[in-house]
Structure 1
Amino acid sequence: MNAAIVAIPVLLPLFTAVLLALISGRPRLERWLSLASSILLCATALVITARTTRGAILVLAIGSWSPRVGIVWVTDSLAALMLLFAAIVAVAALAYAPGSLRGARERRYFYPLQQLMMAGVNGSLVTGDLFNLFVFFELMLLSSFALLALGTRAAGFQHTLAYVVMNLVASALLLGGVGAVYGTAGTVNMAELAVRVREGDLPVAFWGAEALVIVVFMVKAALAPVFFWLPDAYPEASVVVNGLFAGLLTKVGVYTLFRSVPLLCAAGPGGLRPALLVIAAATMIIGVVGALGRSTIRGVLSFHIVSQVGYMIFGLALFTPLAVAAGLFHTIHNMVAKTALIFAGGIAERIGRSGKLFHVRGLARTHPFVAAGFFVPAMSLAGLPPLSGFWGKLLLVVAGFRAGAFLVTTVSLVVGLLTLASMLKIWSAVFWGEPIGQRMPRVGRDRGMVSATLGLGALTVLLGVAVAPIFAHLERTAATLLEVTPYVDAVLGQR
């Protein structure tokens, strides 16, 4: 019965989405039901995290299917931590949503679609096989398409086209890759694939299929050179949807790489390691340069989603417990900090009725709480001590120098300075100076927006203060992740 709790993060939002569809047209009730469900989801994720803290792996085998085609849901300490932070982002988004949603149509459909997206996100985190990962990806992406369409104005649809087309192509490639993996290996169960990989009796075609699957994961994570679908599309969504996407969608792609590379690349990533290092460096550079060239708040922040993913994959590419733990710490920090920044930027847009830099100024004087909600996560993203982003980058730098990756480590330091410059660009253009352009001088009914932003900002501070025990846990998680055997034994032992 202990393993049954693994199903709750998937089934709870699915059930909530159905219930919300049945009571459609009652926005207040929908809002409170969604929030209650997400708080319960957060509590469940916290229980799962507590159960997996000391290395326990919860495995739920559904039905009595053959291991080659059966459905198995697995939650170890990595998946549990991702579930927890995804739930935290969801709660913050639901607190933020009432003041952010545009028009009656978006208010009517946002809540059930958000719950469906959470089911897809959580399913992607707990599934133990590639085919069901594809299924949950589709649930996540189809709901994200609908959420994006709801908040996009007619003039902005051209910017969302790349998002839709690229993800549809990636989904088709993933389905083909999963089919080829099954055809060449006889299974899509990741634990069994790990065993087969280490036995070394797989045909050459399998490695082509595996490479295709990993490339699709790179697309989902928005790594260079396949990131172009993200920076123009995300700002077209309403702010709350933009925040959800920034905090969750690319991080699911990052998670799948952290999960699949150790399992499917034998004793180490081999030739994949230098490729991942180059990709990580390119992603960091392209993302930050793109951010410096943008002239809107969310345009800058959307390019930084790309840049920060490069840091996460840098940790994975080094393939040491310290580096992987640092990459994971940077991932959970970014889920919180990036969502907070999007939310703070959205409030600034609302006050000035525009997201253009210099269109509204002086918010630090007239809206100090909004300014604080931006400044703290902005400095965390830039890597200033003692905030969470500082520790993530510092630990990556230490791991990089220890591993001899001097060039990419230096790139990460330079990108950190450029990140600070781009954050100060927004600060000086929007929050500093004499107040001008403030068409909505009072936040008023948008207290939920400010509270959600400040709450996430406070969490970045807490992550920085509590870095020692959190990172110790992540080092144990990273060691287990790289060892592979505990995961394989837990899954196959349930068969």
Structure 2
Amino acid sequence: MMAALLVLIPVALPLVTAALLLTLTGRARLQQAASLVSGGVLLANAMLLCARTASGAILVLPLGNWSPRVGIVWVADALAATMLFFVALVSYTTLLYAAGSLRERERRYYYPLHQFLLVGVGGSLLTGDLFNLFVFFEIMLLASFALIALGGRARQICMGVPYVIVNLVGSALFLVAVGAMYGVAGTVNMAELAVRAESAGLPDVFWGAAALLLTVFMVKTALFPVFAWLPDSYPEASVTVNGLFAGLLTKVGVYTLFRTVPLFAGAAPGVLQPALVAVAATTMLVGVLGALGRSTIRGVLSFHIVSQVGYMIFGLALFTPLALAAGLFHTIHNMLAKTALIFAGGIAERIGGSGKLYAVRGLARTQPWLAAGFFVAAMSLAGMPPLSGFWGKWFLVTGGLAAGAPVATGISLLVGLFTLASMLKIWNAVFWGEPEGQRYPSRGRYRGMLGATLALAAMTVATGLLAAPIFSRLERVATQLLDVTPYVTAVRAAESHDARAEAP
């Protein structure tokens, strides 16, 4: 019963909270207080899930008396639990930031939409079948469509149109792929699909559908060449929404690739491996070059979302426990560092009244705590020791050389230098020099916004200092990902219709 509750809470709690918050529309303080209480419970639940899955246990919750082959099943393993923990962290700090950054008309609906987004994210991380992954993706995307247009500015809505179109097309292709796979294999349960994929004998239609599905996940992740929708749409959302999206949405796409590629590819990725390596390396390079060409704070940072996703998928593409663990480490590091950077950039925008570089200067002198938060997160993103970004890149370089991918590894190092250059570009334009253009200095002193930024920056420091034990856990996660047998065994054990199945 306890295990069933732990698996249920990440979806059920945000759903109940969202319904409650809709009844409190117009009462922003009560909405924020209820959201923070719910967020605290969600964080505690994620910690318990991490503890329960640390030894390799897999918690399975089947709904109803259906066989997992055709029924709904939720699965919490070490990967899902780890991602849920960092999702809860980013979500909680975003709620702290939101109170000071949102306009009055944005506050009315932000908090319930935030919770609906968490329903989609939590369900995407926990679902054990592809059709329900589609359903939770749609919940997540509907909430994100509303959030990206929150405030109703003309340019905001205009630049959000590509986001909507690309994701709607992706959703349609997702449904086509799932339908084709069900028609051929007779199931969309991930564990059952892994068994069928390993046994071979599936027709080309199945593998074509699998390729289409992975392409959809690439779109959701903003990998090259299907990334152009992200750098234009994200900066037009409010800063709070931009930070939430940067920390969560593309990382759900990364998660789906980490989850499904080993299930479909088995122990021999074949032609998929060089293709993923090439896509990852190109994404890194194109993303960072785009960042160097942008002239706004969040424009630079949004292109870096694309670039950093390339590092994560590079770890997956190498298909070794070391490299997969490195990709996962880079994912959790980026969730913290990128959100901190966007939050810091948002405060700078508020102080200067504009997000353009050089519109405001000298913040290091007048806002030293803000400057410290930005600097720490920026240096972490660039890979400076001993911060979390350094260890993420170090593990990836080690894994890349060990796996025999020197060219892509060299590109990752080059991109690291370009990342440092783009972070210094923002630092020199906004934080360095004599104070200028600080039209609204009091806007930088709101405790919730600054506190959330500094908390995330401090977490990047802590993650770097605790890199050894964190990476050790992630290596176990990676090993579990590559060996799908325990996952399949746990899900199949749910056929006994017990509310919980654990596989060591």
TM-score category of the 2 structures, normalised to the smaller one: over 0.9
The 2-side partners of 1:25 and 1:155 are apart by 25
SS of match in other structure, 1:73 = strand
* Distance verdict in 2 for CA 1:323–1:444, change over 3 Å: closer
For the 8 Å contact 2:50–2:78, the answer to whether it is kept is yes
> Is 2:76 the counterpart of 1:75?
yes
What TM-score, normalized by structure 1, do the two folds share?
0.99
Alpha-carbon displacement from aligned partner over 1:51-84 (angstroms, at most 9, x marks no partner): 1111111110111113332000001111000000
User: How much does 1:268 deviate?
Assistant: 2.6
- Say if 2:7 is the partner of 1:25: no
Q: Secondary structure of 1:328's match?
A: helix
Shift of 1:152: 5.1
Task: Return the offset for 1:270.
Answer: 1.1
Match of 2:316 in 1: 316
Q: Work out whether residues 348 and 444 of structure 2, in 8 Å CA contact, stay in contact via their aligned partners in 1.
A: no
1:252-297 Cα offsets, whole Å, 9 max, x none, are: 0000000000001132321110000010011001100000000000
Q: Distance in 2 between matches of 1:131 and 1:151?
A: 33
Q: Deviations along 1:307-326, whole A, 9 cap, x unmatched?
A: 00000000000000000000
- Identity level (%): 69
RMSD between aligned residues: 0.9
Q: Which moved more, 1:63-72 or 1:372-381?
A: 63-72
Displacement, 1:441? Answer: 1.7
**Counterpart-to-counterpart distance in 2, 1:319 and 1:89:** 28
Aligned 8 A contact 2:68 2:494 in 1: no
AA at the equivalent of 1:86: V
1:22, distance to aligned residue in structure 2 (A)? 1.6
1:57 matched to 2:58? The reply is yes
Q: 1:326: which partner in 2?
A: 326
Is the alpha carbon distance of 1:429 and 1:279 closer, same or farther for their aligned partners in structure 2, counting shifts above 3 Å? Answer: same
Is the Cα contact below 8 Å between 2:380 and 2:387 reproduced in 1? yes
Separation in 2, partners of 1:363, 1:445? 12
Q: Give, in whole Å, the separation in 2 of the partners of 1:155 and 1:310.
A: 29
CA distance in 1 between partners of 2:384 and 2:135 (Å): 40
Q: Is the 8 Å Cα contact of residues 69 and 189 (structure 1) preserved in structure 2?
A: yes
Partner of 1:140: 140
Closer, same or farther in 2 for the Cα pair 1:20/1:156, shift >3 Å?
A: closer
- Contact 2:351 2:444 (8 Å CA) reproduced: no
User: Aligned residue for 1:493?
Assistant: 493
Report the alpha carbon displacement of residue 27 of structure 1 after superposing the two structures with TM. 1.1
How far is the alpha carbon of 1:31 from its aligned partner?
0.8
Alpha-carbon distance in 2 for matches of 1:97, 1:448: 8
* Equivalent pairs, count: 494
Structure 2: gaps of 5 or more residues: 496-504
Contact 1:337 1:381 in 2 (8 A): yes
CA contact (8 A) 1:74 1:491 kept: yes
Secondary structure, aligned partner of 1:413: helix
Deviation at 1:25, TM superposition (A): 1.8
SS in 2 for 1:60: strand
Contact 1:318 1:324 in 2 (8 A): yes
Partner residue in 2 for 1:12: 13
Q: In the aligned structure 2, how far is the partner of 1:199 from the partner of 1:421?
A: 49
Comparing 262-271 with 386-395, which one deviates more in the overlay? 262-271
Deviation (angstroms), 1:157: 2.6
1:216 Cα offset (Å): 0.4
1:144 to partner: Cα distance: 0.3
Residue in structure 1 matched with residue 113 of structure 2 by the alignment? 113
Segments ≥4 residues shifted beyond 4 Å: none
Look up the match of 1:173: 173
Aligned partners of 2:8, 2:218: CA distance in 1, in Å? 27
Q: Deviations over 1:203-230 (max 9, x none)?
A: 1100001111110011110000000110
1:381 matched residue in structure 2 = 381
Match in the other structure for 1:91: 92
- Mapped partners of 2:372, 2:162: distance in 1: 34
Q: How many angstroms apart in 2 are the aligned matches of 1:465 and 1:74?
A: 31
CA distance in 1, matches of 2:214, 2:203: 18
Report the AA paired with residue 24 of structure 2.
Answer: I
1:358, 1:430 within 8 Å by CA — same for their partners in 2?
Answer: yes
Determine the C-alpha separation between the residues in 2 that align with 1:226 and 1:2.
Answer: 42
- Cα distance in 2 for partners of 1:405, 1:236 equals 37
1:303-452 alignment, distance < 5 Å: 303-443=303-443, 446-452=446-452
